[in-house]
């Protein structure tokens, strides 16, 4: 039975520049899509969040570049929590699939592995 499932991911960005944000979001998004063997037509929506020290580009532009032109996308900033990981970009993909939530592969790359060492 098909259900909507969530796939989480996070990556740290080298610097607050358009190029670095696009590179990091593309890398993470491709990893999440490829390693979960997702059909682009089954992706319902994608949420992108950035820490407040990343403001030079919308990471959703990377989704458009890989062909997700009709998928609803949303970019937002993270809550500023003292001591939180800096220059961090997070992605949440909602996908319509036959797979169980338990079989979804989540990705935390670079220093973002600290956020979920249990998934590293």
Across 21-58, b (16+ Cβ under 10 Å) vs e yields bbebbbbbbebbbeebebeeeebeebbbbbbeebeebb
Q: What angle do CA 44, 71, 11 make, to 5 degrees?
A: 80
Active site residues: 8, 64, 75, 78, 90, 108, 116
Q: Would you say 71 and 37 are in contact if contact means Cβ atoms under 8 Å apart?
A: no
């Amino acid at each position: 039975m098909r259900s909507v499932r969530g796939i989480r991911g996070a990556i740290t960005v080298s610097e607050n520049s358009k190029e670095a944000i696009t590179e990091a979001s593309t890398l993470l998004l491709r990893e999440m899509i490829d390693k979960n063997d997702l059909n682009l037509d089954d992706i319902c929506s994608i949420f992108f969040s950035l820490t407040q020290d990343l403001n030079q580009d919308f990471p959703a532009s990377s989704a458009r570049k890989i062909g997700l032109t009709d998928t609803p996308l949303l970019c937002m900033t993270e809550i500023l929590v003292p001591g939180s990981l800096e220059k961090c970009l997070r992605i949440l993909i909602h996908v319509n699939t036959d797979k169980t939530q338990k079989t979804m592969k989540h990705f935390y790359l670079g220093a973002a592995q600290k956020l979920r060492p249990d998934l590293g």
